[in-house]
Structure 1
Amino acid sequence: MDERAGRLLLRAYHAAGYAALPLVPAFLGWRTRRGKEDPLRRGERFGRPSLARPRGRLVWIHAASVGETNAVMPLVARIVDEGVGVLFTTVTLTGAKTAMGKLPKGAFHQYAPLDIGACIDRFLDNWRPDLALFVESELWPATMGRLVRAKIPQVLVNARLSERSFARWEKLGETARLLFGPVTLCLAQSEADGARYHRLGVEKVTVTGNLKFDVPPPFADPRTVAAFEPLLAGRDVWVAASTHEGEEEVIAAAHRVLRHRRRGLLTIIVPRHPGRGPEVAAALAARGFAVALRSRDEPIRPETDIYLADTLGELGLFYRLAPIAFLGGSLVPHGGQNPIEPVRLDTAILHGPHVHNFAEVYAALDRTGRAETVRNSEGLATVLDALFSDPTAMRRRATKAAEALAAFSGALDATMRALLPYLRPIAIASGLDAHRGGGG
């Protein structure tokens, strides 16, 4: 595809967005009914603000959902410490809830505008950011083009691009280069990610590492931990974290096999999407399991087989209660969930074969024997039985996992060093605005 064809394709994309505008309210209404949009803040998706713009200069940081939000929060704090305000956007409700619970003073949340020119223009006209940072692989053609037109530098932070996504972009030929060429800077998670972005047209690429390695362990209220501990005393407990559809059946089958060998076994399942909780609980109960649902405050009883923790932001609690964690999204071809949080809490790690989202991390853990791959319910039950039978080996595996990941830290400092040439002028200008009484 040559440049002329590439420009025509981009124009067609923009035109399709405008043509779809009359249908967007119905689409957002459908998403609202499914619990995927905030009905009170739907205007933000059209670029209409629900907050007054603060005085001073702003950096716009966009992250899709919970994982990206957690990863970038320490960076948000560093940027605010430089004297720059942060407008933080997400797409999902769960991402918004996570952000609003963690954003430091000097940062605030809005939902991201739809990738339609009119919505983005309204958003940019109101907030007037001086710099835009996009986390991981949040790549939206209309948004990228509007930033170029507004002469707002755009930086890809903690950037990753899978082989599959790269192949899709590469097929677009010159269209991809027209989009990626104007990107100011790409701060990539790995050499492979950086090489893919460079091949798509980004000229300035720096490998800074994965910010998720520098995130502190997830929080858990010590009082809640203490309240749970007596309920679990004397029981073998493990957690299946961030599970996806199709995985709970495998986990439940492993529990069925294992409970005959290990009386009192308790399996904690934390679905990746908490809204699936009642549906999963009903399916497991129909198979004869005694299930307690956290969202309904159902207690853990001696006869409880499975505790379904269908709440948001509590993985820190369950990683502290269970010495073994199976990381979901890996028995199905989703790509695996982030293993760094449980590793930081000295939890032994199990996972399925589909871990391409964190391939380098899992490779380091597997290579050193700190984590183990399971492929089905029988394999999962066998490994769990072996670990429960040898608590010393289980603890040794958990502590060694933290050592295996030590070499990956330092991404936060590297990212800040790369961003400072862009942030310092904004901070200086913001200070001058405050001195003059302007910038509002």
Structure 2
Amino acid sequence: MNSRIARFALSGYRMAGMAAYPFARPYLSYRAAKGKEDKQRRLERFGYSSAERPRGPLVWFHAASVGETLALIPLIREIRKRDIHVLLTTGTVTSADISRTRLGNDVIHQYVPLDIKICINRFLTYWAPDAAITAESEIWPVTMMELERRHIPQIRVNARISDRSFDRWKRYSDFAEALFSKLALVVVQSDVDAERFRDLGSWPVITSGNLKGDTDPPPCDQAQLDIYKREIGNRKTWAAISTFDGEEKAAATVHAAIKSRNGQLTIIVPRHPERADEIEAMLNGMNLKVARRSRNDVITPETDIFLGDSIGEMGLYLRLTELAFVGRSLMAEGGQNPLEPAMLGCAVLSGAHVQNFREAYQKLLRSGAGRIIRDVEMLAKAVHYLLANDNERYKMIDAGGRVIQDMRGALSLTLKALEPYINPLTVSAKLQPRSAVG
């Protein structure tokens, strides 16, 4: 594919989006019916605003998922200290909830518009951001083309690119370069990511480390935590968090296999809480007694599984245990963020498929804070061993704390890299009359 064909492909993508536009409304209605879209705010996905644009400089941040939203929060707070307005868009209902609970009225939240020219133009014309900062790995061609056309610098922070994505982009290198070269600055998590972004056409590229190392531990309701701790009493606990289909059954199988030796409570926190009814039915079919967070069920001595089917309460679940298996790694691929459990004093277990978080897992494994397991049998052995051996578990927990401490610093490096774009806006903000956000 040469550059001319790449330009033709980008034009074709844009035209395909326009052709799909009439079908977007029923598609979003279908997603809303399944709980994947906010029914009251669907127009935001078409670029219509539901909030007033404040006077003065404004930076548009976009985070697709919960993990990306959490990673951006410390950076957003630093930008807000400079009196620069922040518009935060997210792609999921869960991410919107995180924005509301963690940032409140300090930012303007909107759902990200569809990557269709008419939607993006409507969005950019209204908000007129002075810079666009996106997190990690999403690429939206029409949005990138429209930002370039309006001379709005587009910056990627906490950037990473998986093995699979890199191989796919390399097969279409001219197309990749036509997009990645539009980024004014890329701040990446690792040297491997830096090399890959440069190969795909980005420049300049700066390595900062992972912003997730600078995030605060996820909060929790202390009163609710105290209630659950009283209900659990002296029982040993372990958690399977951010689980995907098949991993809940694996956790239940582990529970059944070692229950007679440990009498433990197993905490299961699915990545998608809307699957909770299906998961509970599976657990009941295994003759396991389930207490659900969404029903405020009491955890009794007979409870086998505490099903964490709520949004934004990972801090609660992780504070109830000292051992966590991190999902999307045994039955699914890519992995999930292992830093939150390490940050909250948990020994970390994971399946082998963690390529999306390779750098973080390498640090945990080298330090002895984490262990990789190959299958359900190995998971059962590891859970039993670590529940029965306090000293080994505490060694892993202490090592995890050291890893988190060593990883801090990405925020300051990212801010330094952003100075050429943020400093002029800081000066402009000081010259503007004060105006409220939201």
**TM bucket by the smaller chain?**
over 0.9
CA distance in 2, matches of 1:59, 1:281: 43
Conservation of the 8 A alpha-carbon contact between 1:242 and 1:337: yes
Q: What's the CA shift for 1:105?
A: 4.7
1:321 counterpart SS class? coil
Identity %: 44
Name 2:242's counterpart in structure 1: 242
Conservation of the 8 A alpha-carbon contact between 1:278 and 1:293: no
Name 1:322's counterpart in structure 2: 321
Q: Deviations over 1:173-219 (max 9, x none)?
A: 21211111121000011111111111111121000111001111111
Provide closer, same or farther for how the CA distance between residues 106 and 253 of structure 1 changes in structure 2, counting only shifts above 3 A. Answer: closer
Q: What's the CA shift for 1:377?
A: 2.1
Q: What's the CA shift for 1:88?
A: 0.3
CA distance in 2, matches of 1:68, 1:396: 29
Asked whether 1:353 is paired with 2:324, we answer no
CA distance in 2, matches of 1:22, 1:370: 51
Q: 1:388-427 to 2 correspondence within 5 Å?
A: 388-427=387-426
Counterpart code for 1:306: I
Conservation of the 8 A alpha-carbon contact between 1:257 and 1:378: no
Q: Deviations over 1:27-61 (max 9, x none)?
A: 11111111111111011000000111111110000
Q: Deviations over 1:300-335 (max 9, x none)?
A: 111111110100111111211111111111102321
Provide closer, same or farther for how the CA distance between residues 106 and 256 of structure 1 changes in structure 2, counting only shifts above 3 A. Answer: closer
Q: 1:36-435 to 2 correspondence within 5 Å?
A: 36-103=36-103, 105-263=105-263, 265-434=264-433
CA distance in 2, matches of 1:133, 1:61: 5
Q: What's the CA shift for 1:391?
A: 1.4
Query: Larger deviation: 98-107 or 9-18?
Result: 98-107
Counterpart code for 2:418: L
Q: What's the CA shift for 1:104?
A: 5.6
Conservation of the 8 A alpha-carbon contact between 2:266 and 2:304: yes
CA distance in 2, matches of 1:145, 1:328: 36
Q: What's the CA shift for 1:428?
A: 1.6
TM, length-normalised to structure 2: 0.97
Q: What's the CA shift for 1:433?
A: 3.7
Q: Deviations over 1:364-404 (max 9, x none)?
A: 22223221112222211111111122212212221122113
Conservation of the 8 A alpha-carbon contact between 1:327 and 1:349: yes
Runs of 5+ consecutive residues of structure 1 not aligned to the other structure: none
The total of aligned residue pairs comes to: 435
CA distance in 1, matches of 2:6, 2:104: 41
CA distance in 2, matches of 1:176, 1:2: 11
Query: Larger deviation: 331-340 or 138-147?
Result: 331-340
Counterpart code for 1:375: R
Conservation of the 8 A alpha-carbon contact between 1:100 and 1:108: no
CA distance in 1, matches of 2:364, 2:91: 31
Q: What's the CA shift for 1:415?
A: 0.5
Conservation of the 8 A alpha-carbon contact between 2:322 and 2:345: yes
Q: What's the CA shift for 1:419?
A: 0.8
Conservation of the 8 A alpha-carbon contact between 1:77 and 1:104: no
Conservation of the 8 A alpha-carbon contact between 1:134 and 1:157: yes
CA distance in 2, matches of 1:63, 1:194: 20
Counterpart code for 1:364: K
CA distance in 2, matches of 1:68, 1:209: 14
CA distance in 2, matches of 1:356, 1:46: 34
CA distance in 2, matches of 1:213, 1:185: 21
Q: What's the CA shift for 1:429?
A: 2.0
Query: Larger deviation: 344-353 or 149-158?
Result: 344-353
1:250 counterpart SS class? helix
2:319 counterpart SS class? helix
Q: Deviations over 1:259-283 (max 9, x none)?
A: 12123x1100000111111110111
Q: Deviations over 1:69-120 (max 9, x none)?
A: 0111010000010120000000100011111111265411000000001000
Q: Deviations over 1:118-147 (max 9, x none)?
A: 000000000000000010012100000000
2:86 counterpart SS class? strand
Conservation of the 8 A alpha-carbon contact between 2:186 and 2:206: yes
2:431 counterpart SS class? helix
2:35 counterpart SS class? coil
Conservation of the 8 A alpha-carbon contact between 2:163 and 2:355: no
CA distance in 2, matches of 1:420, 1:105: 25
Conservation of the 8 A alpha-carbon contact between 2:334 and 2:357: yes
Counterpart code for 1:430: A
CA distance in 1, matches of 2:304, 2:261: 14
Conservation of the 8 A alpha-carbon contact between 1:6 and 1:175: yes
Runs of 5+ consecutive residues of structure 2 not aligned to the other structure: none
Conservation of the 8 A alpha-carbon contact between 1:365 and 1:405: no
CA distance in 1, matches of 2:189, 2:393: 30
Q: What's the CA shift for 1:431?
A: 2.9
Give the superposed CA RMSD.
1.3
